[in-house]
Amino acid sequence: MAHITLLAGDQFLNKKDKLFLTQLESWVVEQGHKLSEVRISSFSQDLFKADMIILAIPVEQHSYQAFKDFMQSLPANSLQDKNVYPFILGGTPAHLSIMELYLNPLLNRLGVTEPLKPVPQHIQTCKHKPKPKNTFSIERFYQFLQLNIPQSV
């Protein structure tokens, strides 16, 4: 059994972020592992004892800046030789591009080699179109996790 730690901002601001946590926890338990959650405001050195670290990076400006400031406070190469998987919680393709531009050098400084991955969700591109029904699927989410997180830790 592996110990997987989720490093997240101080709070999940929307339903989709909470859904990500709930589904991730279910998936981890189904895989026979243990998930613990660490918030940036209550950080402890136990984070570095985890077999795998999942970064849940928010896109909301204030939360994103707090997360980025926290990551900048970590010593260089502090996540080197760790299985670290950074996920962006929501946003548009433009958010992803900007975050890649600013976060990739920071993550590389910490020793993270995995690329940023956006968590799949519907993105409404036009304000005038009616919002489609929620198309979230647990099966598709589990497939996403299986593709982006190794099955054996």
Phi, psi of 39 (to 5 degrees): -100, 150
CA-based nearest residue to 85, from 47, 117, 60, 119: 117
> What pLDDT, on the 0 to 100 scale, is given for residue 123?
34
> What pLDDT, on the 0 to 100 scale, is given for residue 128?
45
Segments of the chain with pLDDT less than 50: 122-135, 153
* Domain regions of the chain by residue span: 3-148
Q: Please state the pTM of the whole predicted model.
A: 0.79
- How far apart, in whole angstroms, are the C-alpha atoms of residue 12 and residue 105? 25
CA-based nearest residue to 23, from 127, 152, 126, 149: 149
> What pLDDT, on the 0 to 100 scale, is given for residue 94?
84
What is the CATH topology of the domain spanning 3-148? Rossmann fold (3.40.50)
> What pLDDT, on the 0 to 100 scale, is given for residue 69?
92
> What pLDDT, on the 0 to 100 scale, is given for residue 121?
55
Residue with tokens 């050098």: 105
> What pLDDT, on the 0 to 100 scale, is given for residue 70?
92
